[in-house]
């Protein structure tokens, strides 16, 4: 983002604001295309008018927005994997078949080989 023009930064930040507007309004049950359009026009207008003056602020916001978005996406993907593994009863730690095991096979142990140690 350091080498981008202020206008491109403004568009990137507008996309971020629009994404969060969509997420928050959808979760509250208030989303509509008309509100999204009005919000988009207002934010594009403001960010494009003040793009040069807000360039460093837009850069900081874009970095913070990216970190939050990627963090949430990582949590979402890991959660989906966990749910799918739970539904399919897959244990990812025990996927490989092993011929040897750490447990003793009690059927094959002879009584003469067992000693008590005190």
φ and ψ at residue 87, rounded to 5 degrees:
-65, -40
In a domain, 83, yes or no: yes
Task: Give the total number of structural domains in the chain.
Answer: 1
- Asked if residue 84 belongs to a domain, the reply is yes
108 in any annotated domain = no
CA distance 23 to 44: 18
Is residue 13 within 8 A of residue 4, CB to CB? The reply is no
Task: Residue 17: give the domain boundaries.
Answer: 6-94
pLDDT in tens, 85-103: 778 877 666 666 556 555 5
Between 112 and 52, the more confident residue is 52
Domain-embedded: residue 116: no
Is 60 part of a structural domain of the chain?
yes
- pTM for the whole thing? 0.54
Residue 107 within any structural domain of the chain: no
Measure the CA–CA gap between 51 and 10, rounded to whole angstroms: 6
In a domain, residue 75? The reply is yes
> What is the structure's pLDDT at 110?
65
Residue 111's pLDDT is 65
HSE value, Cβ hemisphere, 13 Å, CA-based, for 86:
6
Structural domain includes residue 24: yes
């Amino acid at each position: 983002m350091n080498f981008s023009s202020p206008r491109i930064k403004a568009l990137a930040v507008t996309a971020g604001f629009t994404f969060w507007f969509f997420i928050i309004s959808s979760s509250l049950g208030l989303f509509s295309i008309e509100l999204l359009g009005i919000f988009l026009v207002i934010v594009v207008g403001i960010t494009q008018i003040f793009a040069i003056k807000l360039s460093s602020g837009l850069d900081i916001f874009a970095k913070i927005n990216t970190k939050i978005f990627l963090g949430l996406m990582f949590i979402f993907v890991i959660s989906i994997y966990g749910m799918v593994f739970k539904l399919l009863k897959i244990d990812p730690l025990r996927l490989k078949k092993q011929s040897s095991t750490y447990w003793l096979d009690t059927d094959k142990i002879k009584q003469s080989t067992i000693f008590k140690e005190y």
